[in-house]
Structure 1
Amino acid sequence: MIVAGQSQSAYFLEEATNVSETHTLSVLVDNEPGVLARVIGLFSGRGYNIESLTVSEVEHEKHLSRITVVTTGTPQVILQIMHQLARLVPVHRVVNLTRMGEAIERELALVKVIGKGEHRVEALRLAQAFSARTVDATLESFVFEMTGTPADIDRFINLMTECGRVEVARTGLAALSRGAEIM
């Protein structure tokens, strides 16, 4: 934080811009073979990590798909990724949802829990507290479906460890900007 009347050295400012941040990028692309491979190739070829990736056709008539990518890097790296994505031929638009403000972010998770007795009761109680749905139940196991923010899903998964969590499947992040701004 810079306070009026205090001077900061240029070294301090340079150091602050080298901090790695997590960003959610939304990329509107033509829905055609090889587009996803080209986008992923851009990340892998330059050593950028993809933390989450979600792809789906969003406009069937126009054959457009939306790719939502969560990645981490310094502000300069994120800007470089956006510029490189925008140069790919099938890409129509690249938006940094993180820079636009608080985006609406949701993810779906399936969590399998195996347990008996108190562990079963506790798993059901936690699922109810997190508004998770029971989508499969046997005498020895449950599969819960939960939709929410990645942080809420992380908390749910971690708590289910004590109840006998054995398996997890996650969809990846789906995100939209708030308000009237559109892609």
Structure 2
Amino acid sequence: FIGRMERKIKAGDCLILSGSIPRSMPRDMYEKILEVIDMEKVLVIVDTNSDLLRRTLPYHPFLIKPNLIKLGEIFGRSLTDYDDIVGCAMHLQEEGARNVLVSMGADGAILVTENGQVFSSPAPKADDLSQELVDVNGAGDAMVAGFLAGYLERHSMVDGFAKGLAAGSATVYTSGLADKQQINLVAQRK
């Protein structure tokens, strides 16, 4: 698997390491993958549990996306204060993450960029989709995919943040993943 990945992944590709590692695989699987990736030429995004996430930081992933609970687990406390959340995200940058996107459920998200910019936004409300909350499963994955799609369109962190928030928010009002029309509806909100 590692050899095939090393041969197949090339400059300009994106790699998302997401979820937990099965018990049948080595605990350092993500690290073994990152050892063969040219981190300067491949956009690597990591969205996994606290321990695995932190172990990827020395490889300087382009983006990590902890949710608020995972971020709190990393620092051993409950996080509710905006400045504390931003401070913890910046600490993860000091450990190696380039950009940190913190998903906060109904409270929206915070993005801390490698340029020192901080963006935050509440989650859009259900009334824009004329629906009620359906399921939060998949919202974090949708946020990552939306961020990447938005970022790649114009190489803009702002666009990535906006589309990621829209995709994650639209997904909680949908059975399964939100489609392009639903995401665009949320993205067009002012």
- Structure-2-length-normalised TM-score: 0.23
Greater helix percent: which structure?
A: 2
Task: Select the structure with the greater relative contact order (CA < 8 A; seq sep ≥ 6).
Answer: 1
- Structure-1-length-normalised TM-score: 0.24
Q: Larger C-alpha radius of gyration, 1 or 2? A: 1
